[in-house]
Each structure stands twice: as C-alpha cells, then as structure tokens.
C-alpha cells in the first residue's frame, strides 16, 4: 500500500486550530511566574560561572519558588480549562 501525503488524501484533512480566545489570567500568571523563576536560575548560573560562591538566599528562594509556583499554577489552569470544556 502506497502512502500519500496529506494534501493527496482522499479523506478531507481537517486542520484543528486553537480558538482565538484570550488566555485565562491564571495561565498568564503561571507563565510570568515561571519565566521569572527561570530568569532567576539563569542569573544564579551566571553568577556561579563568574566565580561568585556566596549568593543571596533570597535569589535562590525566588528562583526555585517562582519556577515551582509557575509550574503548579500552569497545571491547575490546565486542569480547570479541561474540566470546563468537557
């Protein structure tokens, strides 16, 4: 059996696109927290590579805490949206 590309298929190809709705505020908060946490991790890595061994405790807590909170908020937002749709 010879496989054909999607444009030559005899069955109509349906492109599924995301709706053009604005993202939920919880998703925006999750992305912001996660991005700030990753930025903190990158700052820590940069300072460590520059030879700094005594980093401020608040930088470590912010990097790990914001990344974790952002990830958790993203999961909660994903679950809430999935339950609302189905």
Binned at pLDDT 50, 70 and 90, residue 19 comes out as low
Average pLDDT value for residue range 16-39: 83
Average pLDDT value for residue range 48-68: 93
CB atoms near residue 22 (< 10 Å)? 8
Residue 5 has pLDDT above 70, yes or no: no
Average pLDDT value for residue range 25-49: 95
Is the pTM higher than 0.85? The answer reads no
Average pLDDT value for residue range 49-64: 93
How far, in Å, CA of 31 to CA of 81, rounded? 15
């Amino acid at each position: 059996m010879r496989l054909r590309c999607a444009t030559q298929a005899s069955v109509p190809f349906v492109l599924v696109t995301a709706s053009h709705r604005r993202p939920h505020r919880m998703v925006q908060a999750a992305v912001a927290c996660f991005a700030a946490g990753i930025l903190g991790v990158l700052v820590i890595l940069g300072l460590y590579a520059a030879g700094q061994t005594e980093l401020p405790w608040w930088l470590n807590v912010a990097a790990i805490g914001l990344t974790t909170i952002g990830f958790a908020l993203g999961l909660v937002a994903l679950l809430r949206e999935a339950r609302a749709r189905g």
